[in-house]
Amino acid sequence: MQFKRLAVALIVSAPMLAAAQSNVAVYGTMDAAVGVQDTGATGEKSQTVINSGNQSSSRIGFRGTEDLGNGLKALFNVEAGLALDTGIGDSALFGRRSVVGLQGAFGTVTVGREYTPISFIAAGSDIFGQGFYGSNLSAFNANRLTRRVSNSVNYKTNQMSGFTGSASFSAGERSVEPSGDLMGVAIEYANGALFLGAGYQVLERLATGDDKEYAFGAGYKFGNFEVKGNFLVGDQVGNNNKFEQANIGAAMTFGAGKAFVNVQQNKFENGAKGNGFAIAYSYSLSKRTNVYTSYASMRNNGLATFGLNSSSTNVTPVATALGADPTAFTVGVRHTF
């Protein structure tokens, strides 16, 4: 009888024991907006659209840790993107991030689909937080730079005197050359209001040589005012393929509101150039819900078709519409949980 009572007690307490050793959370962001966008191309009219993910990509994710003892933890994170305007999920179910790993005094090791080292620099130095039209996400458009990698092994140090280092290897998994492998490293410094970072990646995309990617970023906060800037380079194999983007932005907090401004320049070594300007305003209704509005424009020269990117959407002229000047205006609401 005592054995039966003990067995029942163990069965009932098993979930509580598991919960004491591990932690699993469901989280997400839901973001939708009404907008007016125009590619600026001849013969194309402006469009009124309902978009998902103008400030932050809409997503749902699951993450958790398990305490293994002696300061060692197991961790996992899977995150799926979705479009609120249509209800359609991303083509890869957990394409935003899908990793498992270990964390301890040595740092953190993850395996799976992960963000690249230079993506941390770009995100940490973008005044828009890689949201709103006019963000530096346009540098990662058309494979100019690499933001996420599959089939990867990744390492990140714990913070030491403000410094954090990261490294990544992604296997192209090709049986013939070029391998498709990517290797990258980055270093960040964060101390109070100051952020500095630099990163480098090399991608064996073609047999004739390796693509090289660079990211440099900085930021500083003065009370309610902050300024951030970055310089991003995608130097692909071939003539006139080198891409450069520079951003400088500022933001000011006014109670529950926050105003943003960013200026951007994109260029290729063949002379194509586009100058962008973007502003945004966000007002917090609570800790988890805010409303926002934004406007952005890009002025291209006669050789360029650079576009505007927000977290999940873009307004980009077709390749033949040289000199077209895209614009985008949005009003939206975002909720996190």
The reported pLDDT for the residue numbered 9 is: 39
pLDDT exceeds 90 at position 3: no
Residue 8 is given by DSSP the state: H
Beta bridge partners of 99: 77, 112
Total residue count of the chain as it appears in this document: 337
Residue 149, Ramachandran bin (φ over 0: left; ψ between -120 and 50: alpha; else beta): beta
pLDDT exceeds 80 at position 187: yes
CA 2 and chain centroid, separation = 56
User: In a 10 Å sphere around its CB, with 0-12 CB exposed, 13-18 middle and 19+ buried, how is residue 311 labelled?
Assistant: buried
Give mean pLDDT, residues 284-306: 98
The reported pLDDT for the residue numbered 1 is: 42
Handedness of CA 216, 218, 261, 127 (dihedral sign): positive
% of the chain exceeding 90 in pLDDT: 92
Both tokens of 285, joined, read 């209704």
CA 138 and chain centroid, separation = 11
Q: What are the C-alpha distances in Å from 287 to residues 32, 69, 224, 260, 297? A: 18, 34, 18, 19, 30
Q: What are the C-alpha distances in Å from 247 to residues 186, 204, 232? A: 19, 27, 9
pLDDT band at residue 22 under the 50/70/90 scheme: confident
Q: What are the C-alpha distances in Å from 241 to residues 39, 220, 235, 300? A: 23, 32, 6, 17
What pTM did the predictor assign?
0.91
% of the chain exceeding 70 in pLDDT: 94
CB–CB of 291/281 below 8 Å? Answer: no
Residue 90 is given by DSSP the state: P
The reported pLDDT for the residue numbered 21 is: 57
Q: How far apart, in whole angstroms, are the C-alpha atoms of residue 277 and residue 265? A: 9
CB atoms within 10 A of CB 277: 14
The closest alpha carbon to 144, from 92, 211, 91, 210, belongs to 211
The reported pLDDT for the residue numbered 84 is: 96
pLDDT digits (tens, 9 = 90+) for 33-74: 999 999 999 999 999 999 999 999 999 999 999 999 999 999
